[in-house]
Structure 1
């Protein structure tokens, strides 16, 4: 019975993801999702109390596993700070600019002001990501791999450098080359600038 219940829940999420991608949040309805999955409204509402809750769960399902894998790349034991940041940066941009996640992000941006969805999605993604990066940078500063500074500001500047060549094209839905080579070059440039600003201070004799 438990397996059947989970099977139904996953079927609802799959149908909802299709409908949201096709029509956007505002254009989608619970009735459309019911029709797509073949369940009654009563069944649908027994799993998800509102369209907003269902939308949030679709986003969580689509992003959580890759979010965790991306941030697991922040290896505090890597002796070379620049290399550790490059490894994470490549994973981070590959995650953010994968076609599926671009679609999800645009849905979130278009609906961010509705029913607290923006706050929930911010907490799910950017806020959690920033906390992971802050903790990593704190460790780097504590071990002398980075100079002492405000870690929250450093984390935000780090993210801005990573996305500097990408965010405008994403926001205006312009074509972009998100190949491994393009991402690697962009990340390398970002880390070079970041380490010039936050690399350990050198002493001269």
Structure 2
């Protein structure tokens, strides 16, 4: 009888996802410094040699894990195709809020902050992928709204900062500092997004 198990040939993307999941769980439970590549390999059912094919060391794996968590190509493509740019901005903000305030993202934030001091490049990776790219995608959504629909005449970057701060910023800080429950109710955030965006932009005629 044929034994059912791991496929002999697994796509690189799927293999990396398994490695990320195992590493994320172990880093969260034991801390980055206390986890070995051998433990991660065991958790995935792969050999340590296979792990090193994809990642030179544990530091590269953590950087790659943080970077991979911020890839939203399909959703952002959908926003670009939305006929109503104000509605698209609301959807975009809702997507960012759902991700940024998720339990997984909060754990990755804490991990990145905790391990930053001993890891060269961690701060740059976290900033570029977690903050700069997300902010730029929000600016792009705002720039697709015609000037005639702007109620507040400010540059797109400032509007993006105001929107993020108004609907997500405080909740994110509270959650990271432990002043907020891990599970965050998104309904009040969605309602706030509606109010704030409507205050800044005129709906399509």
Determine the C-alpha separation between the residues in 2 that align with 1:143 and 1:190: 17
Asked if 1:101 is matched to 2:105, the reply is yes
**TM-score normalized with structure 2 length:** 0.75
Asked if the contact 2:167/2:192 (under 8 Å) is kept, the reply is yes
Please give the per-residue CA displacement for 1:80-124, whole angstroms capped at 9, x wherever unaligned: x3x443332222211111222221222122223421012112222
Identify the residue that residue 133 of structure 2 maps to in structure 1.
128
The two structures, once aligned, show a CA RMSD in angstroms of: 3.0
Identify the residue that residue 166 of structure 1 maps to in structure 2.
171
Higher relative contact order (CA 8 A, sep 6+): 2
2:31 is paired with a residue of what secondary structure? Answer: helix
Name the CA shift for 1:73/1:39 in 2 (closer, same or farther; >3 Å).
closer
Name the CA shift for 1:152/1:48 in 2 (closer, same or farther; >3 Å).
same
Alignment of structure 1 residues 1-205 onto 2, 5 Å: 3-4=9-10, 6=12, 8-64=15-71, 67-72=72-77, 74-75=79-80, 77-78=83-84, 81=86, 83-113=87-117, 114-140=119-145, 142-146=146-150, 148-176=153-181, 178-191=184-197, 195=200, 199=201
Aligned residue-pair number: 191
Asked if the contact 2:142/2:156 (under 8 Å) is kept, the reply is yes
Unaligned runs of 5+ in 1: 201-205
1:166 is paired with a residue of what secondary structure? Answer: helix
Unaligned runs of 5+ in 2: 1-6
